[in-house]
Amino acid sequence: MLEFLARLFGREATGSKEIAKERLRLVLVHDRASVSPQLLQMLKNDLIKVISRYMEIDTENLDIHLDQTNETVALVASIPVKRMKRVAQNPA
């Protein structure tokens, strides 16, 4: 109920403390996985390029990040699909 009221009055449920904690968590995951932000961006660009051959995706709302649980690091991708393409595009 409080979350609803916070949204209604324009206050975000997550404060700057929570945002800072999430950013720190992401930095630690990237560090432990030995993945630079540049490498992750290159991976993201390649994924978009390949997936775009087969489907039209919403590149504005996609989320690709690394997540760590215990000793395991996972690449997590949430890629909104607008529609499937009838014919796959050939790689250029």
pLDDT at 82 over 90: yes
Residue 59 within any structural domain of the chain: yes
Residue 14 within any structural domain of the chain: no
Q: Provide the domain count of the chain.
A: 1
Q: What angle do CA 17, 19, 23 make, to 5 degrees?
A: 115
Return the sign of the alpha-carbon dihedral for residues 42, 45, 51, 54: negative
Determine the pLDDT at residue 57.
92
CB 64 within 8 A of CB 39: no
Residue 9 within any structural domain of the chain: no
CA distance 46 to 69: 25
Three-state DSSP at 38 gives helix
Determine the pLDDT at residue 63.
87
Residue 58 within any structural domain of the chain: yes
DSSP state of 14: S
CA distance 15 to 13: 6
* Lookup: tokens for 49: 């390029």
Residue 57 within any structural domain of the chain: yes
Q: What is the pLDDT of residues 1-53, one digit of tens each?
A: 455 545 555 555 557 777 777 777 666 665 666 677 788 888 888 988 999 98
Determine the pLDDT at residue 29.
61
Q: What is the CA radius of gyration of the chain?
A: 17
pTM over 0.75: no
Residues of the domain holding 46: 38-92
